[in-house]
Structure 1
Amino acid sequence: MIRPATAEDILDFAPKMREADKEEVEAIIGLDPLAALSIGLFQSDQCCIGINPEGEVVGVFGVVPIVPNQIGSVWFLSSDAITRSARHVVREAREWLDEQNATYPILTNVVTDANTVHKRLLRSLGFTFGTPIENYGTGRVRVIPFERYP
């Protein structure tokens, strides 16, 4: 199930974030989970929470406008439930992404090279990967840009 996220959701989810996602947020933008999620909640056109059939929160996600009605920065921060709910996540996320692509013909962002779970998920959701970028963000890590088109 996907529904709009609330500030309470963000407070509840922050300590449950996967370690790899915490490291990615710290390395790219230098923020702790609660700060990153709070920014996502307030800057995204639509910030959502994904819940699997067992009632576990799988992740919080959204799209931040880069160029209104053209390019959106899509983001997703997950809990450990992502590994138990991959099929469910892919099925629901494809539909949500199709809706976002109707508003933003280009959905884009970067993923750290070390975040293998998210790279697999992105590939299964129809994102294509660009050339890796070295020394990116506050942690000067290797990232891979990705994009999705309708």
Structure 2
Amino acid sequence: MRPELRENKGTEHVGEQEFVRHGPVIRIVPARGKHCRSIGRRMRASDVTEVWRSGRVGPVEALRRSMRQSTAFTVLIDGRPEIMYGVGDLNVLAGVGGVWLLGTDAITRNWRWFLRATAEGLPGLFTRHEVLRNAVDRENAASLRWLEWLGAAFLMEIDVHGHPFVLFEMRKRRDV
């Protein structure tokens, strides 16, 4: 009989066999202020550059502002805050929300999990909105590739504080 699989470290004994589980323990929890400090101090360089160019703020303040203006969550990897994301209202009447995600280099270290989790979790972000939008720094090649992989449509290039950003949107999928 196969043992129950959990995202967990450790050894499990089943009959005469020993199963060693690999990989980090990953939990998603409501975002809290202390997560902003932890992630902000270790934020990946491309995100630090992007938040400065877009809002003229540092990483911790960018996370705090984003968290206050949205429904936000933190991804804990082995108990440590590594990623924060959320969705806020841009235009409630039109059903448009602003989606965002900022994180540490744990995204790169756990890229397989990250891709799978973001693809599987994307439909859950459309609870209040039909369309999710934001802008990404044109020089942030990894984020652009990831957004394209998720199915984002790139609408136009815009200028934000003298830097080129790309406006993108994702639409709620309708099952037929």
TM-score exceeds 0.5: yes
Once the two structures are overlaid, the 10-residue window that deviates more, 24-33 or 120-129, is 120-129
Of 5, 12, 16, the residue aligned with 2:38 is: 12
Structure 1 equivalent of residue 89 of structure 2: 65
1:36 corresponds to which of 33, 40, 62: 62
Query: 141, 153, 160: which is aligned to 1:137?
Result: 160
Determine the structure 2 residue equivalent to 1:100.
125
Cα distance in 1, alignment partners of residues 33 and 39 from structure 2 = 10
For residues 8 and 55 of structure 1, the distance between their equivalents in structure 2, rounded to whole angstroms, comes to: 13
Q: TM-score, normalised by structure 1?
A: 0.88
* d(CA) in 1 for partners of 2:151, 2:73: 20
Decide which of 12, 29, 38 is 1:3's aligned counterpart: 29
Q: Deviations over 1:47-102 (max 9, x none)?
A: 111234x5554421111101127010101112111112222112222233211223
Conserved 8 A contact 1:56-1:81: no
Q: CA RMSD in A?
A: 1.7
Larger CA Rg, structure 1 vs 2: 2
Percent of residue pairs bearing the same amino acid type: 28
**Secondary structure of 2:88's aligned partner:** strand
Q: Which amino acid aligns with 1:9?
A: H
Structure (1/2) with the larger helix percentage: 1
Report the equivalent of 2:20.
none
Q: Give the alignment of 1:118-133 within 5 angstroms.
A: 118-133=143-158
Query: Whole-Å Cα distance in 2 between the matches of residues 65 and 127 of structure 1?
Result: 18
Normalised by the size of structure 2, how large is the TM-score? 0.76
Greater RCO (CA < 8 Å, at least 6 residues apart): 1
Contact 1:57/1:81 (<8 A) preserved? no
CA contact (8 A) 2:39 2:82 kept: no
Answer whether contact 1:108 1:146 (CA < 8 A) is retained.
yes
Going from structure 1 to structure 2, the CA distance change for 1:118 and 1:93 (only over 3 Å counts) comes to: same
Supply the distance in 1 between the matched residues of 2:148 and 2:163 (Cα, whole angstroms): 21
- After superposition, the C-alpha distances for 1:4-24 in whole angstroms (9 at most, x for unaligned) are 111111111111101111111
Q: Secondary structure at the match of 1:130?
A: strand
What per-residue deviation string (whole Å, max 9, x for no partner) do you get for residues 88-118 of structure 1?
A: 1122222332112232110000100111111
More strand by share: 2
Query: Unaligned 5+ residue runs, structure 1?
Result: none
